[in-house]
A = this chain, B = another copy of it.
Amino acid sequence: MIVVMEKGASQEQVQHMVERVEGLGLKAHVIVGTERTVIAAIGVKREETRQSLESGPGVAEVVPILAPYKVASREVKKDPTQIVVGGLHVGAGAVGVIAGPCSVESEEQIVQTARAVKAAGASALRGGAFKPRTSPYSFQGLKEQGLKFLASAREETGLAIVTEVMSTEDVELVAKYADVLQIGARNMQNYRLLEAVGHTRNAVLLKRGPSATMEELLLAAEYILNEGNTQVMLCERGIRTFENHTRFTLPLASVPYLHHKTHLPVVVDPSHGTGHTYLVPDMAVASVAAGADGLILEVHPDPEKAMSDGYQSLSIPQFEATMLRCRKIAEAIGKQFG
């Protein structure tokens, strides 16, 4: 950590900060520059130390040198992690495809979709039973009934089941039916929920919050890893910016950035990341090219009749065409797909 003193900070202020640094169990190294003095604080303490030093007298800012996450870091584990759940392989050369409707609406709907996406090459089925909705007046999902329909679809097709869990009290129930527990973007910093899924042995798909930094995403993953669950997939699903021609802005540079910083696999969600069906196929293809370890796509047998998110869902034929295009890209870059 580097403590930058204000220009004109007094000798007493510098000495005060040296003592503060040493009081925290760190070594202090004073460097007198042409215009300012800085104090290098050497040792392993991190986030709280920084905050503690920032309010010192004469301190202009405190610059951290170490990333605050540990277990998720590539510095700790060099080899990429591969998540394997049934036929779903994500990471380390494999690109997994998770597809299905926004909401589970009926047994027929979910089983029909499962068969179709499997035939087109998906290796897992998504579908919401518990739905977080912006408005209390919107459809909130079929809840346990929806989970049962998902289980039927798995029985029929063998696809792994990915579904969202919204609350600690539902973790046990959802974990009973699902293979992969999804943490939605709105809950990325619901720390109790992160700890609760950290206690399960299910794989977890952790979605980035729409205003979360990469560091916050990795620290959210750290909450799960820290409880002993190492099966975490990160998911880029778009951020909130001034752009209004898309519902969110999908920043694909997250993929190579995260590959640089963490061993955890990175899945991209072009459906939420764009919010418009007509943009989804090109962004799915681009995600694979950018190095994504997986795709999660909204697919509905009749998007116009969907109870939620129809405007960003692919129809079955659109999904099939998208899969063909993605497969070609995966082959061109030597990845195993689907």
Task: Report A59-72 CB contacts with B as 1/0, cut-off 8 Å.
Answer: 00001011011100
Contacts of A253 in B (CB 8 A): 246, 249-250, 273-274, 279, 282-283
- How many angstroms from the CA of A333 to the CA of B326 in the assembled complex? 10
State whether the Cβ of A199 lies closer than 8 Å to any Cβ in chain B. no
Q: Can you tell how many copies of this chain the complex includes?
A: 4
Q: Does chain B have a CB within 8 A of A216?
A: yes
Could you give, for residues 202-221 of chain A, a 1 whenever the CB lies within 8 Å of some chain B CB and a 0 otherwise? 00000001110111100100
Of the candidates B226, B244, B287, which one forms a contact with A213 in the assembled complex, judged by CB atoms under 8 Å apart? B244
Q: Is the CB of A31 within 8 A of B40?
A: yes
Are B290 and A137 interface neighbours, CB within 8 A? no
Task: Find out whether the CB atom of A213 lies under 8 angstroms from the CB atom of B192.
Answer: no
Q: Does A251 contact B (CB under 8 A)?
A: yes
* A83-91, A109-117, A163-171, A172-180 - the one binding chain B: A163-171
A211: nearest residue on chain B (CB-CB)?
B211
- Min CB distance A188 to B, Å, is 8
What separation, in Å, do the CA atoms of A240 and B212 have in the docked complex? 9
Q: Mark A11-54, 1 if CB is under 8 A from B, else 0.
A: 00000000010000000010111111010101110111001101
Of B216, B274, B289, B306, the residue contacting A286 (CB under 8 A) is B289
Q: Is A310 close to B, CB under 8 A? A: yes
Which of A93-101, A128-136, A151-159 lies at the interface? A128-136
Q: From residue A127, how far is it (CB to closest CB) to chain B in Å?
A: 17
B210, A211: Cβ atoms closer than 8 Å: yes
CB-CB under 8 A for A34 and B40, given A168-B169, A306-B55, A309-B51: no
- Within A268-314, which residues are at the interface with B (CB < 8 Å)? 273-274, 277-279, 282-283, 285-291, 303-311, 313
From residue A174, how far is it (CB to closest CB) to chain B in Å?
13
The size bracket of the interface on A is 35 or more
The residues of B that contact A66 with a CB separation of less than 8 Å are 35-36
A48 engages B139 (CB within 8 Å): yes
Q: Does A75 contact B (CB under 8 A)?
A: yes
Instruction: Assess whether A191 is in contact with B132, with CB atoms less than 8 Å apart.
Output: yes
Residues of B within 8 A of A282 (CB): 253, 255-256, 289-291
Show 25 residue pairs from A and B whose CB-CB distance is below 8 angstroms, ordered by the A residue: A29-B31, A31-B31, A32-B42, A34-B44, A47-B134, A47-B138, A48-B138, A52-B304, A52-B305, A55-B313, A132-B189, A133-B191, A136-B223, A168-B169, A210-B211, A215-B245, A241-B241, A250-B252, A250-B253, A253-B282, A285-B289, A286-B289, A286-B290, A289-B329, A329-B333
Interface of A toward B, CB cutoff 8 Å: 2, 4, 7-8, 20, 29, 31-36, 38, 40, 42-44, 46-48, 51-52, 54-57, 63, 65-66, 68-70, 75, 132-139, 166-169, 186-187, 189-192, 209-211, 213-216, 219, 222-223, 226, 239-246, 249-253, 255-257, 260, 273-274, 277-279, 282-283, 285-291, 303-311, 313, 325, 328-329, 331-333
